[in-house]
Chains A and B, each alone.
Chain A
Amino acid sequence: MFQNLRLSMAWLHTWFGLVLGFVLMIVFFFGALSVFDREIDRWAIPSSRFEAQPMPSFDQVLKPVFETMQPSAERIDQLRNKVNGPVPTHFTTPSVWGAYTTHRDPVLGLFVGYEVPNAKEHDTRVFALRTIDPRSGASLPDDRLKIGSSFFYPMHYSLTFYWKNVGYWIVGLAALIMLAALVSGVIMHRKLFRELFTFRPNKNKQRSLLDLHNLTGVVALPFHFFFAFTGLVIFAGIYFPITHTQLEPLHELHERLDAEETGLPHDRAGVAAPMASVDAMVVEAQRRWAEKGMAGEVGFLAMRHVGDANGYVSIYRAGTDRIALTGEGIHFKAFTGELLREDPPSSAVDSVNEFLTGLHLQHFRHWLLRWLYVLGGLMGCVCIATGFLFFVEKRKRQHAKQGSQGARVVDALAVTTVTGMVVATLGILIANRLLPDSMGAGWPERQAMERYIFWGAWALAMVHAFLRSAPVAQGRLNPAWREQCLAVAGLAVVAVLLNWATTGDHLLRTLSAGYWPVAGVDLFMLAGAMVALFAARKLKQRAQRAPVLRPESSGPAHA
């Protein structure tokens, strides 16, 4: 296809980078925000603005809540194609009760997985979710959207496009292309090491853009490669579902052998049995961890085959001081409280896998490293955005002479994906502060409204970007860049002011109380506003300096 390796890699990098770059901007930006997803949740749900709590008592607090949890109407509805006959409305056989917490969680998320009678496949489950205040056991209203952990974070790995997992596949493809773009980028550039130190902002625009693109790409090259790669590994089960399709029989064989070996029953016995005290099991688990020299908090607690003689409780240690998310699992017989199994240390492969996934998902306590993750993510965004800008700059004068609209379209899409995405993000946060607590009859739920406003704001930004893009077809700057930068600055300040107005938690108060989650979000938005203002000013200066290029002029060709 191409004369040599470098040319083929350059073509791959340019065209695949361009198309999937739009997806990757979303992945990197919301990935960066997701580092502080639970902090954004605090901002969005003022009733959860208190200190992080440890896992509460199972017997006193969790069990009563688990017993009342039923799946939402929406989830029951999704069972329609998975059952023979009418869809059940009430579920009575829980196969798992679970709770997971980290050192950053004030509120606690609980889940119950119910068996589905008349299901076509016997291991179909339907889930019920609830969020509680662990200090009292009181449930939070179901329609408070956790904007950080339940919107920005899923946006990052699935674009919230769940139909047939298409969103996951698009992100997966983008991740693969990201790896290819990094490698092809390295092959294309001869002087890789020198480029780490090259940034000439005062040279012509194309040169500075390319310098910045290379700089942000190379400086964080290991980071970008690592995150794209580990992201793929984390969802390998979706991308290569080999062990649940072609090799499913092998998987079943292993599960049966494993159950015999570990003593953890695979199925229910069909005999009802009461529960022993789980709190006592937790105490025993913590005693055993301390004995091994790794005293710690409970991270994940799960009870399987609830209410059955084969039921067992699994208690995992929170990975606050480790890379692995949770570990040192200890399992107890639910009926008697006796120890069934203490998980052995991980095998070599397992340790590698835990390390890779744990570094990506970062639930550990290390604030500096987390901020570096945000920085890396934002550098990825800058790398991709400068890629777009370079693409447009390189071609717009050519396209202007040819009367082509190509550069214009790409530029408008770039505005939509860079500033437009930030506008949408601020839009949902503002909507979060302004929408009433309950929407009233005839309106969609509050959390649905917040999502609609997010997409609506983004669509508006896109329309604006396209409407204002005519100058690009003449080789000039799109005024939408500056206009959206100003919008971003304005919206960010409005969001911070709204936080003050609607919750009373203004910056002086949150900073003096040392309540960093909310102060951090406010400060981050204000910093963003300053960057946007600075950019807007620079763009104004550039627009005033740039000469106008007439399409019919036969000036020197610039490519």
Chain B
Amino acid sequence: MLGGYVFTWGGIALGVAGLFAAGMEFHDAEHLCNILGFLVFLVVFLWAFAARSMPRVWLVLLGGGGLMTASASLIQHMLV
């Protein structure tokens, strides 16, 4: 669950920063990523239970989440 949260946070952050940088209106980007974010969280949550390899789950969720979060901050840094 925590892994899923980190992954989803990263996804939403990267989505919002990326879409805003690409020209989408800020609140539109925010709402769209929130809507998609919860669906992503659901899928990732179920996958964490069904998956066969726990280390792989952690790698994808924390690793992927961390990477996306960092990328979002990078984009923000370039814009502000």
Name A's B-contacting residues (CB within 8 A): 1-2, 5, 8-9, 11-12, 176, 179-180, 183-184, 229, 232-233, 236, 240, 242-243, 246-247, 249-251, 253-254, 258, 347-350, 352-353, 356
20 pairs of residues in contact across A and B, judged by CB atoms under 8 Å? A1-B52, A1-B54, A9-B49, A11-B49, A12-B46, A183-B42, A183-B46, A233-B34, A242-B12, A243-B16, A243-B30, A246-B76, A247-B16, A247-B72, A250-B76, A250-B79, A250-B80, A253-B79, A353-B31, A356-B35
Most buried by A among B9, B32, B49, B79: B49
Q: Are A249 and B46 in contact (CB under 8 A)?
A: no
Whole-angstrom distance between the Cβ of B72 and the nearest chain A Cβ? 7
Given A9-B49, A180-B45, A242-B9, A250-B35 contact (CB < 8 Å):
no
Whole-angstrom distance between the Cβ of A307 and the nearest chain B Cβ? 28
Given A176-B42, A242-B9, A249-B76 contact (CB < 8 Å):
yes
Q: How far is the CA of A241 from the CA of B20 in the complex (A)?
A: 17
**Within 8 Å CB of A242, what residues of B?**
9, 12-13, 16
Chain B binding surface SS class: helix
The count of residues in chain B whose C-beta lies closer than 8 Å to any C-beta of chain A is 36
Given A9-B49, A242-B13, A250-B20, A236-B37 contact (CB < 8 Å):
yes
Within 8 A of A (CB), among B49-80: 49-52, 54, 69, 72-73, 76, 79-80
Given contacts A184-B46, A236-B37, A352-B32, 12 further A-B pairs with CB under 8 A are A11-B49, A176-B41, A233-B35, A233-B38, A236-B38, A247-B17, A258-B26, A347-B25, A348-B28, A349-B28, A349-B29, A356-B35
Chain B residue nearest to A258 in the complex (CB): B26
Q: How far is the CA of A9 from the CA of B26 in the complex (A)?
A: 37
Most buried by A among B8, B17, B31, B32: B31
Which of B16, B17, B30, B50 has a CB less than 8 Å from the CB of A9? B50
Q: Are B50 and A350 in contact (CB under 8 A)?
A: no
Q: Are B46 and A246 in contact (CB under 8 A)?
A: no
Q: How far is the CA of A8 from the CA of B51 in the complex (A)?
A: 9
Q: Are B26 and A250 in contact (CB under 8 A)?
A: yes
Q: Are A254 and B20 in contact (CB under 8 A)?
A: yes
Given A250-B17, A253-B80, A349-B12 contact (CB < 8 Å):
no
**Within 8 Å CB of A249, what residues of B?**
76, 80
Whole-angstrom distance between the Cβ of B55 and the nearest chain A Cβ? 12
- Considering the complex of A and B, which 4 residue pairs feature the smallest CB-CB distances, nearest first? A236-B34, A254-B26, A349-B28, A353-B31
**Within 8 Å CB of B12, what residues of A?**
240, 242
Chain B residue nearest to A357 in the complex (CB): B31
Q: Are B9 and A240 in contact (CB under 8 A)?
A: yes
Q: Are B49 and A8 in contact (CB under 8 A)?
A: yes
Q: Are B46 and A250 in contact (CB under 8 A)?
A: no
**Within 8 Å CB of A183, what residues of B?**
42, 46
Q: Are A229 and B38 in contact (CB under 8 A)?
A: yes
Q: Are A180 and B50 in contact (CB under 8 A)?
A: no
Q: How far is the CA of A78 from the CA of B50 in the complex (A)?
A: 45
Whole-angstrom distance between the Cβ of A367 and the nearest chain B Cβ? 29
Q: Are A180 and B35 in contact (CB under 8 A)?
A: no
Q: How far is the CA of A353 from the CA of B25 in the complex (A)?
A: 14
Whole-angstrom distance between the Cβ of B58 and the nearest chain A Cβ? 13
Chain A residue nearest to B30 in the complex (CB): A243
**Within 8 Å CB of B32, what residues of A?**
349, 352-353
**Within 8 Å CB of B50, what residues of A?**
2, 5, 8-9
Q: How far is the CA of A233 from the CA of B38 in the complex (A)?
A: 7
**Within 8 Å CB of B49, what residues of A?**
1-2, 8-9, 11-12
Q: Are A180 and B26 in contact (CB under 8 A)?
A: no
Whole-angstrom distance between the Cβ of B35 and the nearest chain A Cβ? 6
**Within 8 Å CB of A347, what residues of B?**
25, 28
Q: Are B28 and A350 in contact (CB under 8 A)?
A: yes
Whole-angstrom distance between the Cβ of A207 and the nearest chain B Cβ? 27
Chain B residue nearest to A13 in the complex (CB): B49
**Within 8 Å CB of B27, what residues of A?**
254, 350
Chain A residue nearest to B37 in the complex (CB): A240
Whole-angstrom distance between the Cβ of A237 and the nearest chain B Cβ? 8
**Within 8 Å CB of B30, what residues of A?**
243
**Within 8 Å CB of A348, what residues of B?**
28
Given A233-B34, A253-B80, A180-B46 contact (CB < 8 Å):
yes
Chain A residue nearest to B35 in the complex (CB): A233
Whole-angstrom distance between the Cβ of A228 and the nearest chain B Cβ? 9
Whole-angstrom distance between the Cβ of B75 and the nearest chain A Cβ? 8
Chain A residue nearest to B34 in the complex (CB): A236
Which of B24, B42, B73 has a CB less than 8 Å from the CB of A246? B73
Q: How far is the CA of A309 from the CA of B16 in the complex (A)?
A: 34
Q: Are B13 and A246 in contact (CB under 8 A)?
A: yes
Q: How far is the CA of A349 from the CA of B26 in the complex (A)?
A: 11
Chain B residue nearest to A352 in the complex (CB): B35
Q: How far is the CA of A8 from the CA of B34 in the complex (A)?
A: 28
Chain B residue nearest to A11 in the complex (CB): B49
